[in-house]
């Protein structure tokens, strides 16, 4: 925060105004009180209010995470259903083998490989940044410009790969299990056609656990986005956080962590509410007729 | 008139090394308006035949030869025929109504989808048809219940919904695969009555697959007996049950516990133990045998247990009294039976006596000491040693990662940590031989044994601590009838020679009649009647007991 030429008196004064001389419990109590009011103090490094910085960087991260989550959910479910139904197909084996790669390779390696392939060799997609963004006043979006859309492809695919493979395997296991259940067998015995059995009867049941996992994973996506954002120089919160770590910028770090915790709790809350609409067994309780 | 003709039907499973026949050269004919029983023990291929009729065999099994002729069409000629006939000409009912309906679709959606698959009806017509059907199978308020989900129905009601689904496209053949096995006896009789009524009214041809000879005797016109994939005998039910020709049929009929009399032992045909003598109990010399005193060993006083799934609403409507103010006593050396339908609280009582559940109120005395008030762990251990339990499901009650000898050694070492290795081994061998298992079994894992053998291991484990009281919670209801006969014989022998006291819990009245000296009848957590066994069966006092006895399927109903 201070330059080389700052005198000892000035340093002491700054420490005093920032409250760094107080005992730890006083500092901590002050932090709790302020944090509960959404006040995280001033960034040591950038000398601006932390809440302002977070709000500024939030749209970039949210857009990245939402797109990644959509990619992971949609393609994960589709591929999972395919591999669950065509268990012994050649294509299923390939999908599963590739998905194994997705789980085992770390995100930053995949990101760097993508940059090398699409930005350096093929030169079709930008290697870093968000491209041109449009400022809507409360939100800056990259969705409205060609360069913005192009820029989000590589980071979002990189970020989604891990979750996608996860969902593929989950959906596959669910489908395989459900296709063995009695009610599927009974549906077959009633002559219901295979399409309806697979996509109406089985898939609907199979998606129930996927929603739980997906909910938790959206939180994980935000956390994982630190690495992806760093690799792609994506101006989001994760990138901000990494910079803050390097400068021991504690106000930013604490604000970021509190924010992530809040998001986790909110998402799980929403998932719990979603269950009510998806699973009729939760909706009605203690309403069983006798007989 | 022969409606269904199964000719030389074989189903085999291609395994890596060999081909396993689930059914081999089965010939069956069924007429319209007739119920044919298909009976056999687990693995006999009875369900395989039922499923093979509409080619619903799971991979890697397949129908390898034979034909199924319905009317005058061979439906196995091409797969299109089968798809057209499934649900349309042929309806199928499965065993477990809890799992045969899709939990996230309303029963209306499932009915309409099935009807529209086969019949050209508008959604509204399909709905009207479904509602009439639901009324026909005895569901009240059918218009309202139409939009309910499966979990909103009780077990018996669900099976009615399943039947309505099987019948919704006016099939001419109904295959019912163990339709009442998962249901209580009172609901079982309702469902069987329903199937009988529909058979007459709709002139259906029905194949009723079951393992229960009582159901066969009371419901079917003709019966086919299967054993390991082969049809061993087929004919008029009355003739076969009265005068079985095949040896296997004979042993099957003789293993069924009679409902009208008490026999000392079950006759077991084709067993090594030819003269049917009691087994020699090797652990007898280690046993501190107790005298039969006719004093109370267990005394239960005003016992209650309530379950509430919500911590905050103790007095809300979720409040369930599983056991409601029950008192009874078990005398030393006797077998006391508790019977009741599911949810009557019988297992809850067992778990409170072995101290797995804490009673909400009331006391349990064992040998004049109140065991519900013991606080000290070491004091409690003394009683745990004297009370042992045998559970219903032999598959989940043994730890699959432990060898049999370790399973049996565990309670011994727990109560006698200083026992030497050689002493321990010889004790385990004696225990195994006492339950008619060979010594080599000690080094095997539970999955290498059949259900009956596993239940023997459970018994050996329970005997390991030399208990005075054995609590048996439905010990044979997961077993085939011939295995059940063997296990019940074993329990009788053990009790006779070791002077054990047994609390025997079952829903199966004929079994209870064979095993118990005195019986308590439970309903909704309340004790209706306690009486000597023969007294109870010959002269029941309570209305509910009378009802249970009337509804119990009786194999004797068909005897001359």
Predicted confidence band at B445 (pLDDT cuts at 50, 70, 90)? very high
pLDDT of residue B483: 87
Cβ contact A191–B103 (<8 Å): no
Q: How many alpha carbons lie under 13 Å from residue B191 in its C-beta half-sphere?
A: 31
| B53: pLDDT strictly greater than 60 | yes
Of residues A173 and B320, more confidently modeled: A173
Quote the mean pLDDT of chain B.
87
| B519: pLDDT strictly greater than 90 | yes
Cα–Cα–Cα angle for B343, B346, B347, nearest 5°?
90
| A231: pLDDT strictly greater than 60 | yes
Of residues A21 and B517, more confidently modeled: B517
Q: Report percent pLDDT > 70 for chain A.
A: 96
pLDDT of residue B330: 94
Predicted confidence band at A261 (pLDDT cuts at 50, 70, 90)? confident
pLDDT of residue B31: 92
Residues B475 and B499: their CA atoms lie apart, in Å, by 19
Contacting residues of A for B106, CB less than 8 Å apart:
280
pLDDT of residue B462: 93
pLDDT of residue B553: 85
**B contact set with A (CB within 8 A):** 54, 56, 58, 83-88, 91-92, 94, 96, 99-106, 113-114, 117-118, 145, 149, 151-154, 156-157, 160, 162, 165-166, 169, 187, 317-318
CB distance B373 to B311 below 8 Å: no
State pTM to two decimals: 0.79
Predicted confidence band at A283 (pLDDT cuts at 50, 70, 90)? low
pLDDT of residue B365: 92
Residues B500 and B517: their CA atoms lie apart, in Å, by 13
| B479: pLDDT strictly greater than 90 | no
Cβ contact B86–A290 (<8 Å): no
Contacting residues of A for B524, CB less than 8 Å apart:
none
Cβ contact B87–A190 (<8 Å): yes
DSSP letter at B257 equals: P
Predicted confidence band at B518 (pLDDT cuts at 50, 70, 90)? very high
Which range is least confidently modeled, A142-151, B27-36, B289-298? B289-298
Cβ contact A289–B113 (<8 Å): no
Average pLDDT, integer, range B282-297: 75
Which range is least confidently modeled, B72-81, B171-180, B468-477? B72-81
Cβ contact A281–B103 (<8 Å): yes
pLDDT of residue B223: 94
| B530: pLDDT strictly greater than 90 | yes
Considering only the beta carbons, identify the residue of B103, B114, B156 that sits closest to A190.
B114
- Indicate the burial class of A32 (C-beta count within 10 angstroms; 0-12, 13-18, 19 or more): exposed
Predicted confidence band at A284 (pLDDT cuts at 50, 70, 90)? low
Quote the mean pLDDT of chain A.
83
Most confidently modeled range among A35-44, A270-279, B303-312, B329-338? B329-338
Predicted confidence band at A149 (pLDDT cuts at 50, 70, 90)? confident
| B409: pLDDT strictly greater than 90 | yes
The pLDDT tens digits of the residues spanning B85-99 come to 888 889 999 888 888
Considering only the beta carbons, identify the residue of B104, B113, B118 that sits closest to A196.
B113
pLDDT of residue B374: 85
Cβ contact B152–A186 (<8 Å): no
Residues B300 and A43: their CA atoms lie apart, in Å, by 71
Q: Which residues are within 8 A (CB) of B445 and not within 5 positions of it... i.e. 6 or more apart?
A: B400, B401, B402, B403, B404
Predicted confidence band at A290 (pLDDT cuts at 50, 70, 90)? very low
**A contact set with B (CB within 8 A):** 180-183, 185-193, 196, 200-201, 204-205, 208, 278-281, 284, 286-291
CB distance A234 to A60 below 8 Å: yes
pLDDT of residue B404: 93
pLDDT of residue B275: 54
Cβ contact B92–A289 (<8 Å): no
Closest residue of B to A200, CA-based? B105
Beta-carbon pairs below 8 A across chains A and B: 98
Containing H/E element for B435?
none
Average pLDDT, integer, range B268-276: 55
The pLDDT tens digits of the residues spanning A108-117 come to 888 899 899 9
């Amino acid at each position: 925060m201070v330059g080389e030429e700052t005198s000892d008196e000035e340093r002491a004064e700054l420490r005093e105004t920032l409250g760094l001389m107080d005992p730890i419990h006083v500092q901590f109590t002050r932090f709790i009180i302020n944090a509960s009011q959404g006040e995280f103090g001033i960034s040591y490094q950038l000398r601006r209010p932390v809440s302002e910085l977070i709000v500024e960087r939030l749209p970039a991260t949210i857009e990245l995470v939402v797109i990644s989550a959509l990619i992971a959910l949609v393609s994960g479910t589709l591929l999972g259903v395919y591999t669950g139904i065509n268990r012994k197909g050649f294509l299923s084996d390939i999908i599963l083998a590739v998905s194994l790669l997705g789980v085992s390779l770390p995100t930053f390696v995949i990101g760097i490989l993508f940059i090398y392939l699409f930005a350096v060799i093929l030169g079709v997609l930008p290697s870093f940044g968000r491209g041109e963004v449009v400022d809507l006043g409360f939100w800056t979006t990259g969705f409205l410009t060609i360069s913005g859309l192009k820029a989000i492809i590589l980071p979002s695919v990189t970020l989604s790969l891990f979750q996608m493979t996860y969902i593929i395997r989950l959906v596959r296991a669910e489908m395989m299990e459900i296709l063995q259940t009695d009610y599927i067998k009974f549906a077959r015995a009633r002559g219901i056609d295979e399409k309806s059995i697979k996509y109406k009867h089985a898939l609907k049941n199979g998606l129930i656990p996927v929603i739980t996992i997906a909910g938790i994973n959206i939180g994980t996506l935000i956390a994982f986005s630190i690495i992806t954002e760093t690799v792609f120089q994506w101006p989001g919160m994760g990138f901000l956080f990494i910079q803050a770590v390097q400068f021991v910028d504690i106000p930013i770090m604490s604000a970021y962590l509190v924010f992530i915790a809040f998001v986790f709790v909110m998402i799980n809350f929403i998932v719990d509410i979603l269950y009510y609409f998806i699973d009729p067994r939760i909706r009605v309780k203690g309403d069983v007729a006798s007989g | 008139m022969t409606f269904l003709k199964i000719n030389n039907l074989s189903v085999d499973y291609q395994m890596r090394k060999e081909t396993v026949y689930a059914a081999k050269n089965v010939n069956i004919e069924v007429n319209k308006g007739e119920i044919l029983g298909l009976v056999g023990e687990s693995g006999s291929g009875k369900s395989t035949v039922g499923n093979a009729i509409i080619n619903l065999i799971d991979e890697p099994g397949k129908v390898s030869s034979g034909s199924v002729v319905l009317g005058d069409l061979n439906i196995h000629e091409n797969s299109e025929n089968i798809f057209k006939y499934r649900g349309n000409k042929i309806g199928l009912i499965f065993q477990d109504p809890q799992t045969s309906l899709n939990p996230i679709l309303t029963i209306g959606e499932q009915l309409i989808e099935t009807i529209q698959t086969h019949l050209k009806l508008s959604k509204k017509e399909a709905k009207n048809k479904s509602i009439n059907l639901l009324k026909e199978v005895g569901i009240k308020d059918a218009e309202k219940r139409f939009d309910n989900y499966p979990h909103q129905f009780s077990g018996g009601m669900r099976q009615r919904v399943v039947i309505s689904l099987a019948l919704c496209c006016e099939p001419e053949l109904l295959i019912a695969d163990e339709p009442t096995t998962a249901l209580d006896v009172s609901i079982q009789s309702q469902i069987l009555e329903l199937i009988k009524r529909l058979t007459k009214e709709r002139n259906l041809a029905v194949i009723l697959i079951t393992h229960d000879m009582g159901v066969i005797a009371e419901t079917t016109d003709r019966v086919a007996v299967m054993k390991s994939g082969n049809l061993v005998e087929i004919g008029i039910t009355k003739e076969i049950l009265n005068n079985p020709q095949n040896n296997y049929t004979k042993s099957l009929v003789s293993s069924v516990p009679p409902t009208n009399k008490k026999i000392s032992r079950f006759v077991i045909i084709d067993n090594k133990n030819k003269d049917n003598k009691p087994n020699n109990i090797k652990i007898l010399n280690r046993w501190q045998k107790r005298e039969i005193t006719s004093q109370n060993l267990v005394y239960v006083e005003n016992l209650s247990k309530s379950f509430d799934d919500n911590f905050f609403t103790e007095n809300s409507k979720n409040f369930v009294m599983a056991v409601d103010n029950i008192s009874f006593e078990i005398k030393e050396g006797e077998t006391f039976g508790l019977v009741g339908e599911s949810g009557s609280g019988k297992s809850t009582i067992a778990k409170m006596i072995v101290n797995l559940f804490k009673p909400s109120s009331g006391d349990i005395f064992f040998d004049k000491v109140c065991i519900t008030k013991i606080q000290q762990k070491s004091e409690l251990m003394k009683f745990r040693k004297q009370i042992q339990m045998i559970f219903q499901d032999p598959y989940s009650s043994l730890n699959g990662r432990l060898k049999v000898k370790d399973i049996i050694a565990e309670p011994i070492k727990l109560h006698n940590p200083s026992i030497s290795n050689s002493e321990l081994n010889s004790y385990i061998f004696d225990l195994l031989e006492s339950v008619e298992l060979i010594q080599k079994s000690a080094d095997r894992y539970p999955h290498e044994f059949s259900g009956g053998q596993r239940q023997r291991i459970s018994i050996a484990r329970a005997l390991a601590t030399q208990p005075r009281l054995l609590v048996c919670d439905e010990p044979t209801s997961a077993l085939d009838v011939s295995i059940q006969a063997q296990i019940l014989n074993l329990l009788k022998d053990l009790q006779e020679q070791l002077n054990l006291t047994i609390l025997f819990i079952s829903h199966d009245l004929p079994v209870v009649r064979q095993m118990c000296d005195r019986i308590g009848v439970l309903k909704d957590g309340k004790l209706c009647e306690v009486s000597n066994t023969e007294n109870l069966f010959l002269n029941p006092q309570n209305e509910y007991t009378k009802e249970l006895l009337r509804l119990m399927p009786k194999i004797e109903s068909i005897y001359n």
